[in-house]
Amino acid sequence: MYYLSYLILIPGTLLSLWAQNNIKSTYRRYSQVDSQMGMTGADVAKTILSNMGIEDIKVEGVRGELTDHYDPSAKTVRLSSGIYNSSSLAAAAVAAHECGHVLQDKKDYKFMNFRAALVPAANIGSKFAPMIVMIGLFLSAMGQVSFIFINIGIVLFLGVIAFHLITLPVEFDASRRALKLIDELDILQGEENRGAKAVLNAAAWTYVATAFASLLQLLQYLIIANSRRR
């Protein structure tokens, strides 16, 4: 009956689909609204960094859409071409958000370090946990053996859960810093700030959805492990 346990994943899948759709439409909407100041994403990032007295971080372009990120090891903020060269509200929001991560790095924000430390565990867990649980299921005719496999899968998956949960405060904090900075530095004016906030909120929901889906995945594994026990 373990296949019924897959039903528990449905709310996570639905929330993820909604969040993906929501970020796409919100991003598209505010990509079409230019700010009064007319600063490009690259300008926004450089303005924030220089205002914060940060001089050792490069700002460069990167291929793809919504591939924007801060690379702490290369000390580089990479902005996708749609952000780098655009003077839209979405571009300002995303560029400022990545600078929020730079500030976290500079201020030794503990959740960010914690998250970086969890990357290897999360990679191993997401790669092997589902496979090991599957092997456990296939071996279920062999009793105890399958039970061990499923439990190993669950333990490995805890690394994935920890990573997605710790990602939440890191992302929320970067967005909070970003919105404060674009307002204080007059990068955006009045109502424009709401557009930036909408973009960053939509992005935050994708992280919430991922964390929620991974928690349901864990719950499914626990249900499988329990049904094996009987």
Q: Give the gyration radius of the chain's Cα atoms.
A: 21
Integer CA distances (angstroms), 122 to 114, 136, 187, 216, in order: 12, 20, 37, 16
Rounded CA-CA distance 136/151 in Å is 9
SS3 state at 73: coil
Nearer to Zn ion, 43 or 171 (CB): 171
Min dist CB 114 to Zn ion, Å, is 15
Min dist CB 101 to Zn ion, Å, is 6
Phi, psi of 71, rounded to the nearest 5 degrees: -105, 100
Nearer to Zn ion, 174 or 196 (CB): 174
Min dist CB 22 to Zn ion, Å, is 17
SS3 state at 152: helix
98 included as an active-site residue: yes
Min dist CB 217 to Zn ion, Å, is 22
Residue type, 209: A
Nearer to Zn ion, 2 or 111 (CB): 111
Q: Judged by CB under 5 A, which stretch of 123-131, 142-150, 166-174, 204-212 contacts Zn ion?
A: 166-174
Active-site residue identified among 65, 98, 184, 192: 98
Q: Judged by CB under 5 A, which stretch of 10-18, 60-68, 81-89, 165-173 contacts Zn ion?
A: 165-173
Rounded CA-CA distance 170/175 in Å is 9
Q: Judged by CB under 5 A, which stretch of 16-24, 122-130, 145-153, 170-178 contacts Zn ion?
A: 170-178
SS3 state at 85: coil
Interaction site with Zn ion (CB under 5 A): 171, 174
Cite the active site residues: 98
